[in-house]
Amino acid sequence: MFNCRSRSNAKTALQIRQAVERLYYGLLINQQQRVEATAKLDVANLKLYDVESALQSGKTIGVSKAGCRQRLPTKNRICSNWTFSAKTTKPT
């Protein structure tokens, strides 16, 4: 009887450890995805700035700015586009 209880405790401890590891690595992945999304937002803002500068100097037309602004992701959309799960992290 004692041996069975010992195995059960060991199995439970292993399951808890695996769940904690999944959560930890999931958080690391999620953190990296947020860093990547922020970098993409910065690049999009730089592209918009370039188009606005070209528009002011007369080297492009307003349609370019509108297209660039439409492709510009918003911070809310970036942050809400990723969901965390203990098993996987995927875009929604």
pLDDT digits (tens, 9 = 90+) for 7-62: 889 999 999 999 999 999 999 999 999 999 999 889 888 888 888 888 888 877 77
Domain that holds residue 51: 2-82
Q: Is residue 89 part of a domain?
A: no
In the prediction, which pLDDT does 74 show? 62
62 within domain boundaries: yes
What HEC string does the chain produce? Answer: CHHHHHHHHHHHHHHHHHHHHHHHHHHHHHHHHHHHHHHHHHHHHHHHHHHHHHHHCCCCCHHHHHHHHHHCCCHHHHHHCEEECCCCEEEC
Does 67 fall in a domain?
Answer: yes
pTM (2 d.p.): 0.57
Q: Do the domain assignments include residue 90? A: no
What pLDDT, on a 0 to 100 scale, did the predictor assign at position 44? 86
CB 85 within 8 A of CB 25: no
Residues 6+ apart with CB under 8 A from 60: 51, 54
Look at residue 92 and tell me if it is in a domain: no
Contact 92, 83 (CB under 8 A): yes
Q: Would you state the pLDDT for residue 68?
A: 72
pLDDT in tens, 48-89: 888 888 888 887 777 676 777 777 766 545 545 544 444 544
Judge whether 88 lies within some domain.
no
Instruction: Give how many domains the chain has, as a whole number.
Output: 1
- Confirm whether 87 is domain-assigned: no
What is residue 16's predicted lDDT score, i.e. its pLDDT?
Answer: 97
